[in-house]
Structure 1
Amino acid sequence: MFRARHLFNRTPFNVAVRKSQPSGCQRSPFELPLQSKFRWSYLWYGSILALGISTGLGARHFAAPLGLPEPGSRDDALILQSLNADIDKLDIVKELRKKSYSVHSDVPLSSAAGVEVPKAWVEIDLGKREVEEGGLLGVMSGTRGLGVQRAFWNAETREMVAVVWIGGGLSGWPSVAHGGAIATIFEEAMARMARGPDGNIEQVHRPTSMKVTYAKPTYSLDFYVLRASFANPNLPQTEPLPEPEAEPTKSWLSWLSPQKDMTKKSEPGQLVEIVGTLESVKGELCVRAKGTFAAPAITS
């Protein structure tokens, strides 16, 4: 009786039924989303890379200067003809021509025939001889370099004013003139001042030192005004000539050259400074320069 009651009153035992699945059908619920995420990330990175390359190539295309014609080519001659017309229209060129004689073959004298008007300024061909002989300015000639210049020299005040074109071939950064090219322009102008308006520029007329200070960027493909003058303009003219010395006695070292014979060494000559500035056509200061020359190299 007790056993029968126990069997009827006990709690039924429920057996959990597990459904087995084949091992090949088991998949992680996160597998498909991870693969999709990886694929989208690769697509995103590829798009960013393509966009960066396209932007860089586009910026390089638009920032690069226009095609520069070869010096002496037909395109270069046409552009130089246009630049010559533009530089003659500048106010500073017009004002200086009113105060000077012109030595350009393509620019007629403004004075009437038979009338002599005293003028302090004279217009010179800056670097024409050097261009013909393949000097520094010859290498930098053409539209890409120093295509056209108008230079004026005042023999009384011993100063020079030059309007120069700085072409795209003289750029260091895109559309910004290279500092070395600007220093070369100053050196050539100051060497011309040291030599005088006429004659060949030799090594003796080169500066012993050159200091250039860049105040602001100088952009290429534009005209600039170069002004240069002697720090002490009266020194080369007022310096008295040395008195002739008596003929020295011959020594046993007379066969030596002055470079090797220390007894023939002269005292170092006095140095002369030439200061200059480079300005935009609007009068904005871009560069300052100072060159030092040996006094014997200065000629009137």
Structure 2
Amino acid sequence: MSTDPTPRLAVGYLATPSGLDGIALAVVIARATGAAIDLICVVRPVGHDGQPGLREYQERLENQAAQWLADGAEHIPPGIETRTVVAVDDSFADGLIGMAQRSKAAMIVVGGADDGLLRRHSLGTVSTGLLHSSPLPVALAPRGYSDNAAAQLDSITVAVSSKPGRSDPLPFAVAMAENAGLDLRLLSLVSLDSPFDDETSRAARELQVATARALLDKTRATVTGDLEVDVLVADGATLDEALDNLPWDDGDVVAIGSGHLGAARRVFLGSTAARILRWTTAPVIVVPRSG
């Protein structure tokens, strides 16, 4: 999270159910961290070249966006500092990133697509763009998140990779846990992905579990301070099965690193992160790859 006394959340908003999901997640994070909310709607520019009719049409677009933002802001409880911003850009994702950087936001928050499964993540055009270019952490709300009026944050789960050189979201997760008073859960995923179910395969899988647990214990020892830290090895015959076996509570949020193929200091949704996103019912924060 930002070192600014009042960190800011840049929330991309459209007048859709997914827009309300993004607001709901931003409210939950703001309550936990004391952050302020910038509610941002991006409209495309109209190339009017001084033509009065087209210039008026641009104004109508921006006024409509301002009205949508005013309506959306009504879903933010009193006590959370909020401002609404209309940005003009050819790309919603690029416009949102630009405004977030100018306001020195700590995080970008959005909902997913409106056609996904309830309580699951489904990426739309905006979220997909952010997950392949954002220099800031991107928080994603699952579909229908705004329906949970009692939503709050209690713990943050961070996926710890056993592969050297991979992006490490642990520093971000520790900072957010300390800032928001959250419990911290270290997660390792184990799957042999073998077509065989024999003694040799089972022994190999048990060795993987033991190695993963040793890594988590070693990682836990590096976490200083008074945080409550738990470790969990999610085990399954396949990665999808391991993910499906994970327990999620209403107060969970998941922090995952960016894929190693992405640019430094940018978010890039790798294959494992994409599968975590597919299976979890908790909000997910994707952290940029370290420089």
**TM-score computed with the length of structure 1 as normaliser:** 0.23
**TM-score computed with the length of structure 2 as normaliser:** 0.23
Q: Which structure has the larger Rg?
A: 1
